[in-house]
Amino acid sequence: MKDSEVLTEAIVEMEENKAMELTKQLLENGVNPMEVFEAYQKAMVEVGKRFEKGVYFIPELVMSGNMMNTAMEIIKPYLSEKETTDQKKKLGKILIATVEGDIHDIGKNIVATLLELNGFEVRDLGVDVPIDTIVSEAKDFGADIVGLSGLLTLAFDPMKDVVAKLEEAGLRDKVKVIIGGGQMDEQVCRYVGADAYVIDAVAGINFCKQWVGAN
């Protein structure tokens, strides 16, 4: 097995210490940093697959995300300018926010991290974000997708208002809208006028990839 494959396997199997040591070792031994980076990307794909199969869950998503973020800091100094630019090429732009009135952010943060690690450019507006801010930021950012998060039922109306305001601003046909949170269902999705609703992170990332033609 190639060293980079051993690294991928260590990440996938959640062997954090081994993965971190191996990352440093490979880079110090002069292995191409892009190859190390790709080992992480491959691992993330496999973790996503296992999540979809119901083998992996939140612990593995946050562990692998955490490992990759730590590794990125280790890899960065080894990358050439061109590689850094290449690495920054993104699949698409996603604006993400917890809507007005709701201050919950755990789900949103997990999704934002995973989107970044999956190659999206993410602008995260935080929690309790006013409707007009979401719409103006979507325009300013040139978002391909707007992701709206909310745990509480009081998030339904602000979500609906965002969709209406996007329409008013003439942006609705340019952006996809996805909603996520514990009480989202088909009924809420229709009420809000969103393109999709999700109740888990990986399903959300898959919709986004599909929309930008990356699947």
Partner 1 sequence: MTDTKEHLSSSQKQEAFLEKWASGEGIDFPDEKSKAAYQYRAGIMKDAIQLKKTPDRAPVVPLTTFAPVMLYGYSGKQAMYDPHILGKIALDFTTEYDVDAAGIAPMIMYGPALETLDYHLYRWPGHGVKEELSYQFVEKEYMKAEDYDHLIVDPSDYWFRVWLPRTHGALAPLAELPPMYGTMELPMAGPWLCTLGAPPIQQAYKALLEAGKQCFDWISALGPYLGRIMASGYPFYAGGATKAPFDLLGDSFRGTVQLMMDLYRRPEKVIAAMERLTPLMIGTGVAGAMANNNPLVFIPLHKGADGFMSNEQFEKFYWPSLKAVMMGLIEQGCVPCCFVEGGYNERLEYLAEMPKGQSIFIFDRTDMARARKILGGKSCIGGGFPISLIVTGTVRQVEDETKRLLDTAAGDGGYILSIGCAMDEAREDTLKAFIKTGQEYGKY
Give the interface with partner 1 as residue ranges (CB under 8 A): 14, 16, 54-59, 62-63, 66, 101-104, 106, 109-110, 152-154, 156, 182-183, 185, 187-188, 191, 199-200
- Least Å distance between CB 63 and partner 1? 5
Closest contact distance (angstroms) between CB of 209 and partner 1 is: 19
User: In angstroms, what is the minimal distance from the CB of 177 to partner 1?
Assistant: 17
Which residue number, 68 or 138, has a Cβ lying nearer to partner 1?
A: 68
**Contact yes or no for 196/211 (Cβ under 8 A):** no
Exposed, middle or buried, 185 (CB in 10 Å: 0-12/13-18/19+)?
A: exposed
Q: Which residues contact 116 (CB under 8 A, 6 or more apart)?
A: 122
Question: Residue 70: which of 127, 113, 120 has the closest Cα?
Answer: 113
> Could you tell me the smallest distance in angstroms from the CB atom of residue 17 to partner 1?
9
Nearest residue (CB) to partner 1, 152 versus 169:
152
Instruction: Tell which residue, 38, 203, 175, 173, has the closest CA to residue 93.
Output: 175
CB 199 within 8 A of CB 184: yes
Check if the beta carbon of residue 48 is closer than 8 Å to that of residue 202: yes
Q: Which is nearer to partner 1, 187 or 210 (CB)?
A: 187
Question: Which residue, 105 or 137, has its beta carbon nearer to partner 1?
Answer: 105
Task: Give me Rg for the CA atoms of the chain.
Answer: 18
In this structure, the strands spanning 145-149 and 121-124 are: unpaired
What is the rounded distance in angstroms from the CA atom of residue 106 to the CA atom of residue 38? Answer: 27
Q: Smallest distance from the beta carbon of 115 to partner 1, in angstroms?
A: 16
The number of helices, as runs of H, and strands, as runs of E, in the chain is 10, 5
Nearer to partner 1, 14 or 212 (CB): 14
Which residue, 37 or 56, is less far from partner 1 as judged by CB? 56
CB of 168 to partner 1, least distance (A): 21
